[in-house]
Amino acid sequence: QVQLIESGGGLVHTGGSLSVSCAASGRTFSRINVAWFRQSPGKERVFVAALRWNGGYTYYADSVKGRFAISRDNAKTTIYLQMDSLEPEDTAVYYCAADVEPYSILSSLRSPTAYEYWGQGTQVTVSS
């Protein structure tokens, strides 16, 4: 079992920055692949960024590449998503996710089906 709790969402103006965090507990965090997804009202949950358990692989959706950065602190068992140059289109509920199979196929890490555990989500709103 892995418990994930997001925090740090809020309201920001276009062009601003925001950082969201996800505190993990319940399992050996250093061996877990992690990711962020987001979901807007009436739309499917979509991939934002992923980070392999050993830090050797990161992947970003094209829409956030160059603006967002995923990272992890194994000592604090926490995942971060730094979001810069925010746009109204980034408005969504942001979810962190954990995949406890450290050797999952890399291409699968962009799909929500690869992740067994999810946080409750945190709202990010970007005003124009």
Mean pLDDT within 62-82: 96
Mean pLDDT within 93-108: 90
Residue in 104, 2, 96 with CA at minimum distance from that of residue 45: 96
Supply angle C-alpha 13, 48, 69, rounded to 5. 70
Q: Determine the pLDDT at residue 94.
A: 98
Amino acid 99 reads D
Q: Determine the pLDDT at residue 112.
A: 95
Q: Does 62 have pLDDT greater than 90?
A: yes
Q: Determine the pLDDT at residue 90.
A: 97
Q: Does 27 have pLDDT greater than 80?
A: no
pLDDT band at 111 (very low <50, low <70, confident <90, very high): very high
Q: Determine the pLDDT at residue 1.
A: 87
